[in-house]
Amino acid sequence: MTTQTADMPAATLDLRIPRTRRWPTPLAPLVTGGSTHKDIVRAWLLAASLPAIWGVALFGPAALTLILVAIATAVGTEFFAAAIRGRTIIGGITHAALTGLLVALTLPATAAWYIAAAGSLVAIIAGKTIFGGFGHYLWHPALVGRVVVQLLFLNSLTLGMTQPTWPILSPDRVFVGDIRSTHPLEMSGYSGWSSLPKRTATDAVLMERPVQSLRRFSNGEIRPDINSTNQDVLRYEPLFRDVLPPWQDTILGCVPGGIGETCTLTLIVAGFYLIYRGYLRWQLPVVILAAAAIAAAIFPIESAPLPIGSALRNAESGGYDWFPIFTVENGRAVGVAYVLYHLTAGELMLGAFLLAGDMVATPMRARGQALFAAGVGVLTIFMRLYGVLECECYWSILIMNSLVRTIDARMKRPVLGMEPEAEPA
Amino acid sequence: MTILQNLLGSPRTFEGGLFLADHKSATARRPIETIHADPQGPGLFVPLAPRSDLPTRPIVSPGTHVLGGQCLAEAVGVDSIPIHAPTSGHIKGFSRVWSPVDGFLPCAVLMPDGRNDFITPATIWADESFVGQLAERGVFCSQPRMAAHTFILQAARAGVTELIVNAMETEPYLSSDLRTIVEEPGRIIDMIGEFADALGAHRAILALPNRHRRVVKRIQAEAAGRHIDIVSLTDKYPQCHPVLLVKSILDREVEPGQSVLDIGACVLPLQVVRAAAEAWLNDRPITHAQITVSGTAALHSGVYRVPIGTPISQLIDRVGTIARVEQVIWGGPLTGVALGRDDAVVTIDTTAILLMTGTSTHEPVPCIRCGWCVEDCPVGLDPSDLMQLEAEPSITAIEGLHLQACIDCGLCSHVCPAELPIAAVIKRRRNSMTTSALPVIDAAPAGPAAFPPKTVTAKERA
């Protein structure tokens, strides 16, 4: 019996297993989850195209032109920037197209084509490329582009508060009507978009944006009524009766505004699709809307002066209306209606479902995102009620984007087995 | 939350983790099948060391005829185990064989004669005790990767009070533990009692996934009156890891760099219990490995008892393929190793061989801050942050602790949409940290020199 140490085998190394195949040896883990960044951006693009289609229906070929110009400029700029830097496009042209599409969704259909092009250009260059591209930017690129064109073209008739009324196509002219042939609409007695008269000389009607009405209301510019029977002051009744369109119109999007801003329904469907795919955390839109609702419910609004000659004028003029949500007039809970209008009017829905949830510019953890979303919701309503800037939701998203790194640093998870005090401050 | 937990007890789970697609339907319902050595094949290349630092001394010479279960090499040192012939045949010679973890190991080449005669068990043993029998029959543990008797002695010396037998098996494809529980529940329960007695544990717990409700009920009936707790947990990956089992079952947290032994628990894989049942109840040495052979390219997926030393190429031919095999995984798909070559063999600590079509190709892009790795990390780390440490020459103590807390489950890379190799980077960085003299943690428990401290720390968490 030979005694042989194991680590020094005898010279019988010809006894080998025949080696026939070689396989690659990547590092563990050897199966991956399946969703890559390309899938994510594609899903976002698909989700964003839904309100875009609805916007083309409501605002006609002009909206389609704007969308195509914005996407083409964004993709072209991305190629140009990649060529200058001499490297391939990180994240692909899909992300550039998504950025361009989101810029177009925030613009009104009456904007000139060069405004969309400038917005996309700024979004790709100043919002994305100078930070190092996809994955590195601090602020949402599309919103950077949007607020920059807002400031650049402030005096243009198409943007800003200089134009009180904005157009929307009549129901019989959807998809094909010319958004620039307009006539103004008398809002008192208006019973909704679907009941607009057919076969008029113009394709579109002009009316005030609901968010603009709410802003005027919060500044005390809408005159209250005096109920002649019991001498009650009706502050909210004139707003709903004479200024705002019906609430279901703001749900369906049949109100003037940005191309993708108006239709709450398509935005909710797009958001649900992203949540279902797992690319948007449900906490983010839910908390944005909840925070905005709470803020609208409790933030005071300026009381409008009563009509001259009213007996109540001296007793009630000036000051603020506190807790608007609890207001009841003529036995109707008008405060609740006021809060619901705040949620569906303007760009809040687009911001909550398609703009705030950009992965790169939001906190990592779900609870960090909830904090971020609460900030967005409250700031939006705050700026809408008391601020002077247009696009208040976009500004508040950008403000909260700047705080993302701070939120992330404060929202670390406790490491298993480590005392929380051992964590760095 | 705390009030709720005081009322209802701890939630018996952990934060993070992910429910993976388990791909077990092909293997979970097939009975365990024994593969016999093929006399026409190239033979069995039986590794003569279970681990590269556990040497043995061969006691047979080339040309001798051996019976199945006959000792081929005896253990050198107290930590090693003897190697036995898986079947009857003659020894052709000695060679070396490649193993994915240890590199080249010495091996004995056994040409099976096809009769599969087994030796009659010896009646006189050097050590009649339970632990001594584990050593003499060559029971080996795959996690931690050491001889079973060494692990039991180590755990007994650490003074463990709880024994947890780990049948969770939350990785995709693996079904070996489930089949064991289904086919031999009584023997498993008997052996858990033996192990608990050997350890002097106050409490013996069998942890298994609660989605197999009938299996849980069956084993509960089997364990009635035996003072063995059956704990069924969700099969959220990586619940199978010892650190998280202790967290879920005992609500104790293991400090980074320590092992579960340090907090008074011993987590045994079910494979060891099964092997010990074979050794102790059947009175046979360990000659076969019970492994899951599955994967997208495997034809007859299932749980097999394979003679130790069977070449992988033979195993693939025996199981059959339905597509071109482009990647072979040794172990589970998330924690396993990619086999680069088919001249490896089935070793004593093999748990699974997965034959995959498609290989995972990575084209990493910068982190897109999706936060999925942060939400899914079972120990609460920020993997995307730790990934930045790769380029850093020095790291702070807190970062070192974070690296040590990683349990290598691989979820961060698994979910990463930017396809970053996060898990591999963290592992590499931690290994370089422990080899360089960074005195971050002193986790080596005091013990006799016969049990080197590295077997407690590095192997336990590996």
Nearest of A161, A267, A155 to residue A208 by alpha carbon: A161
Q: What is the pLDDT of residue A195?
A: 85
Q: Is the pLDDT of residue A293 over 90?
A: yes
Interface contact B329-A30, CB threshold 8 A: yes
Handedness of CA A179, A182, A185, A191 (dihedral sign): negative
B371: distance to nearest CA of chain A, Å? 4
% of residues, chain B, pLDDT over 90: 65
Q: Is the pLDDT of residue B336 over 80?
A: yes
- Model confidence at B361, in pLDDT bands (50, 70, 90)? confident
- Model confidence at A312, in pLDDT bands (50, 70, 90)? low
Q: Which two tokens stand for residue B31?
A: 């009975």
Q: Is the pLDDT of residue A269 over 70?
A: yes
Q: What is the pLDDT of residue A313?
A: 58
What's this model's pTM, rounded to 2 decimal places? 0.88
What is the average pLDDT across B291-301?
A: 95
Q: What is the pLDDT of residue A362?
A: 95
Interface contact B61-A365, CB threshold 8 A: no
Q: Is the pLDDT of residue A125 over 50?
A: yes
Q: Is the pLDDT of residue B22 over 60?
A: yes
Per-residue pLDDT tens digits for A191-214: 888 888 887 888 888 888 899 899
Q: Is the pLDDT of residue A324 over 70?
A: yes
- Model confidence at A11, in pLDDT bands (50, 70, 90)? very low
Q: Is the pLDDT of residue B449 over 60?
A: no
What is the average pLDDT across B206-232?
A: 93
Alpha-carbon gap, residue A179 to A197, rounded angstroms: 17
Per-residue pLDDT tens digits for A38-61: 999 999 999 999 999 999 999 999
Q: What is the pLDDT of residue A163?
A: 65
Alpha-carbon gap, residue B174 to B187, rounded angstroms: 21
CA atoms within 13 A on the CB side of B266: 31
Q: What is the pLDDT of residue B376?
A: 93
How much is the mean pLDDT over chain B?
87
CA atoms within 13 A on the CB side of A139: 23
Using a CB–CB cutoff of 8 Å, tell me whether B92 touches chain A: yes
CB B247 within 8 A of CB B12: no
Q: What is the pLDDT of residue A232?
A: 76
Q: What is the pLDDT of residue A155?
A: 65
Interface contact A364-B335, CB threshold 8 A: no
A422: distance to nearest CA of chain B, Å? 8
Q: What is the pLDDT of residue B120?
A: 83
Q: Is the pLDDT of residue A13 over 60?
A: no
CB B366 within 8 A of CB A132: yes
Question: Which neighbouring-strand residues pair with B103?
Answer: B99
Alpha-carbon gap, residue B29 to B17, rounded angstroms: 26
Q: What is the pLDDT of residue B123?
A: 67
- Model confidence at A33, in pLDDT bands (50, 70, 90)? confident
- Model confidence at A388, in pLDDT bands (50, 70, 90)? confident
Alpha-carbon gap, residue B244 to B236, rounded angstroms: 11
Q: What is the pLDDT of residue A167?
A: 87
How much is the mean pLDDT over chain A?
86
Beta-sheet pairing, A182-184 with A204-208: parallel
Q: What is the pLDDT of residue B9?
A: 74
Mutate to test the interface with B, among A15, A44, A359, A421 (most CBs of B within 10 A): A15
Q: Is the pLDDT of residue B176 over 50?
A: yes
B338: distance to nearest CA of chain A, Å? 5
Handedness of CA B236, B237, B241, B247 (dihedral sign): negative
Of the candidate ranges A4-18, A360-374, B144-158, the one whose mean pLDDT is the lowest:
A4-18
Q: What is the pLDDT of residue A357?
A: 92
- Model confidence at B458, in pLDDT bands (50, 70, 90)? very low
Q: What is the pLDDT of residue B443?
A: 38
Q: Which of A24, A37, A417 sits opposite B417 (nearest CB)?
A: A37
Interface contact A22-B341, CB threshold 8 A: yes
Mutate to test the interface with B, among A362, A415, A419 (most CBs of B within 10 A): A415
Interface contact A412-B382, CB threshold 8 A: yes
Judging contacts by C-beta atoms under 8 Å, the chain B residues touching residue A35 are: 415, 417
Mutate to test the interface with B, among A19, A134, A367, A416 (most CBs of B within 10 A): A416
Judging contacts by C-beta atoms under 8 Å, the chain A residues touching residue B402 are: 415
Of the candidate ranges A23-32, A169-178, A371-380, B44-53, the one whose mean pLDDT is the lowest:
A23-32
Q: Which residues contact B452 (CB under 8 A, 6 or more apart)?
A: none
CA atoms within 13 A on the CB side of B311: 25
Beta-sheet pairing, B352-356 with B327-330: antiparallel
Q: What is the pLDDT of residue B439?
A: 42
SS3 B120: coil
Q: For the stretch A92-114, what's the b/e string if a residue is b when 16 or more beta carbons lie within 10 angstroms of its beta carbon? A: bbbbbbbbbbbbbbbbbbbbbee
B452: Cα separation from own chain's centroid: 20
What is the average pLDDT across A354-366?
A: 94
SS3 B97: strand
Phi, psi of B147 (to 5 degrees): -65, 145
Q: Could you say which DSSP state residue B237 is in?
A: B
Q: Could you say which DSSP state residue B262 is in?
A: G
Which chain B residue has the Cα nearest residue A280? Answer: B370
Using a CB–CB cutoff of 8 Å, tell me whether B365 touches chain A: yes
What is the average pLDDT across B297-306?
A: 95
CB B403 within 8 A of CB B395: yes
Q: Is the pLDDT of residue B1 over 80?
A: no
SS3 A261: coil
What is the average pLDDT across B371-394?
A: 86
Which chain B residue has the Cα nearest residue A18? Answer: B343
Q: What is the pLDDT of residue B70?
A: 92
Q: Which residues contact A341 (CB under 8 A, 6 or more apart)?
A: A210, A214, A244, A247, A250
CB atoms within 10 A of CB B159: 11
Phi, psi of A50 (to 5 degrees): -65, -55
Per-residue pLDDT tens digits for A61-94: 999 999 999 999 999 999 998 888 877 776 678 9
Between A341 and A19, residue with greater pLDDT: A341
Q: What is the pLDDT of residue A331?
A: 83
Per-residue pLDDT tens digits for A93-104: 899 999 999 999
Q: Is the pLDDT of residue B444 over 50?
A: no
Q: What is the pLDDT of residue A179?
A: 86
At A328, the amino acid letter reads: V
Between A253 and B455, residue with greater pLDDT: A253
What is the average pLDDT across A254-277?
A: 94
Interface contact B365-A90, CB threshold 8 A: yes
Count of pairs with CB atoms under 8 A, one residue in A, one in B: 234
